[in-house]
Structure 1
Amino acid sequence: MSDIIEARPITASQREAEPKLVRMPSFGSADKPTIAISIGAAIACLGLWWLVSRLGLVSHLFLPRPDEVWTQIGVVYRDGYAGASLSEHIFASLFRIVVAAAIAIVVGIPVGLLMGLNRWAKGILDTPIEFYWPLPPLSYLPLMIIWLGIGETSKITLLVLAMFAPICLSAQAGVRSLPLERVNAARSLGASRLQLFISIVLPSALPEILTGVRIAFGIGWGTLVAAELIASTRGIGFMIMSASQFLATDVVFVGIGIIAICAFAFTAGIRILEAVLVPWKGKL
């Protein structure tokens, strides 16, 4: 008997029996790039703005042309506005929203996690948060002035209240959406309470927390204009409101554009942080 085994050609039936890898179709727009669409939409909006202002469909007093707004950016950058330079206005607004965001994050995340883990904390804190959360910030703005005066404290407090609720509620929702199987698996492996919190609860809640932070920044920028109405002499919101009183629409557009750029930068930073800290988001 020969030790040499004769090599046989692979038949068609054997090739058909080999497993085939099938790529699962994606759902929604999670894995589909949208940058080109967003750029196209932005160009279309600018073109429509230029066309409407060029044809005079809206009074020039209320809708300046894009090139006039661009020129006004240089004027404000060179000469300043309302007794302050453009950098001073931007720094004042950034200082207020960054300090308020830091306070809201440092307080809101632990409170939200505690509410998700402890029913007594949820029962006690849920009522006041749900009571003031739907209220627009302008509704309790007079109270901030009465209680805290017209200094920076009242402005930052107003921003903190506006940003605290979405961060806190998102942290709570992140804990409540934690799969029970992960908790039981960690317990069966002998994990302590601290290990369970650090290794299971916090990573599972982190996607919801970062989403809440991103929403809070959007609300914070929207509240900034109202906060800077309180006897301010610096800030982008103050610049917008001051320009609107004199019908300086081009300056108003400059302020809106600066806020939009700053808000976009903060949002992009949080998205990058999400990609680093929770790369599994949307893939499980």
Structure 2
Amino acid sequence: MSRRHLLLAGLALLALWQGVAMLVRQPVLPPPTEVGVALWQEIRNGSLGGHFLASLWRVVASTLLAIFTAAPVGLILGQSRRLNAFFAPVIYLLYPIPKVVFVPVVLLFLGIGDLSKIVVIFLILFFQILVLVRDQAAGLRPELILSVRSLGAGRLALFRFVYLPASLPAILTALRQSIGTAVAVLYVAELFATQKGLGYYIYLNGSALLNYPAMYAGVVAMSVLGLGLYFLVDGMEKRWCRWQTAA
């Protein structure tokens, strides 16, 4: 998708927003021009920046933690039929459960700090990456593995030069699919007993202060956070998986 198409889509959404705001004529839905002014003011006074950085840290930390734990586990399960058969029923039961239901439980056990919010997002990303990487590793053609083994490659070399490169697209696909859910759960997690984060900022301005332009400025900032992460993953896929994008 070209930048021109993205720009046109963004302008169309802004025009739709402006039209609906003109029809509704309610303070709860300010026009995008008013929200843009509020967004600039909140950035200038530093109020929105601190909340944005707090949310960004939580998402990035949970994403890195999920990659470095779920990807190796998925590769191991994909290589070993015995281990996969043992753990598959557990994964099958846990994977479909919406991880947002664990927010109160995690908060009770880990408190109201950053750790609880990182763990909640980690749970979402972990199972997404684990399942996709496992299936990708298990679906590798046997002749490819045999040809590499015939050159004297051991298990570590297979892991590094065959399973990991072959599973990299699955890891990035899982991240792309999970970003929207992770940001949504981040909003829910930041509503509980915290004073930092975009979720808290949106709730404070919308429900307590009734400052609707600032509330929508927070929504825009959270949207930018999700879109930025999505485009980052998309760029990594184009850079690291060129054979796939070319195909």
TM-score between the two structures when normalised by the length of structure 1: 0.79
Contact conserved, 2:48 with 2:218, CA < 8 A, in 1?
Answer: no
The amino acid across from 1:52 in the alignment is V
Q: Distance in 2 between matches of 1:283 and 1:162?
A: 30
Q: Which residue of 2 aligns with 1:198?
A: 160
Correspondences of 1:26-105 after superposition (within 5 Å): 33-54=1-22, 57-79=23-45, 85-105=47-67
Contact conserved, 1:159 with 1:224, CA < 8 A, in 2?
Answer: yes
The sequence identity of aligned pairs, in percent, is: 31
Q: Distance in 2 between matches of 1:138 and 1:205?
A: 27
Q: Does 1:262 pair with 2:225?
A: yes
CA spacing shift, 1:240–1:201, aligned 2, 3 Å? same
Q: Distance in 2 between matches of 1:164 and 1:176?
A: 18
Q: Which residue of 2 aligns with 1:158?
A: 120
Q: Which residue of 2 aligns with 1:252?
A: 215
CA spacing shift, 1:137–1:251, aligned 2, 3 Å? farther
| Local SS of the residue matching 2:242 | coil
The amino acid across from 1:259 in the alignment is M
Q: Which residue of 1 aligns with 2:138?
A: 176
Q: Unpaired segments of 5 or more residues in structure 2?
A: none
The amino acid across from 2:26 in the alignment is H
Higher relative contact order (CA 8 A, sep 6+): 2
Contact conserved, 1:229 with 1:237, CA < 8 A, in 2?
Answer: yes
| Local SS of the residue matching 1:173 | helix
Most deviating of 185-194 and 207-216 = 185-194
Q: Distance in 1 between matches of 2:149 and 2:45?
A: 64
Q: Deviations over 1:144-196 (max 9, x none)?
A: 12222222222111111122111111211221232223112223333322222
The amino acid across from 1:46 in the alignment is L
CA spacing shift, 1:74–1:121, aligned 2, 3 Å? same
Q: Deviations over 1:195-241 (max 9, x none)?
A: 22222221111111111122233322121101112201010111112
Q: Distance in 1 between matches of 2:93 and 2:64?
A: 23
Q: Distance in 1 between matches of 2:45 and 2:88?
A: 49
Q: Which residue of 1 aligns with 2:238?
A: 275
Contact conserved, 2:238 with 2:245, CA < 8 A, in 1?
Answer: no
The amino acid across from 1:61 in the alignment is P
Q: Distance in 2 between matches of 1:241 and 1:137?
A: 21
Spell out structure 1 runs of 4+ moving beyond 6 A.
none
The alignment's C-alpha RMSD in Å is 2.0
Q: Distance in 2 between matches of 1:137 and 1:76?
A: 32
Q: Which residue of 1 aligns with 2:77?
A: 115
Post-superposition offset of 1:282 = 4.0
Q: Which residue of 1 aligns with 2:103?
A: 141
The amino acid across from 2:228 in the alignment is A
Q: Distance in 1 between matches of 2:145 and 2:184?
A: 39
Report which of the two has the higher share of helix: 2
Q: Distance in 2 between matches of 1:231 and 1:266?
A: 26
**Larger radius of gyration between Structure 1 and Structure 2:** 1
| Local SS of the residue matching 1:280 | helix
TM-score between the two structures when normalised by the length of structure 2: 0.90
Q: Deviations over 1:56-91 (max 9, x none)?
A: x224222110110011112322445xxxx2221111
Q: Distance in 2 between matches of 1:168 and 1:63?
A: 41
Contact conserved, 1:155 with 1:230, CA < 8 A, in 2?
Answer: no
CA spacing shift, 1:58–1:128, aligned 2, 3 Å? farther
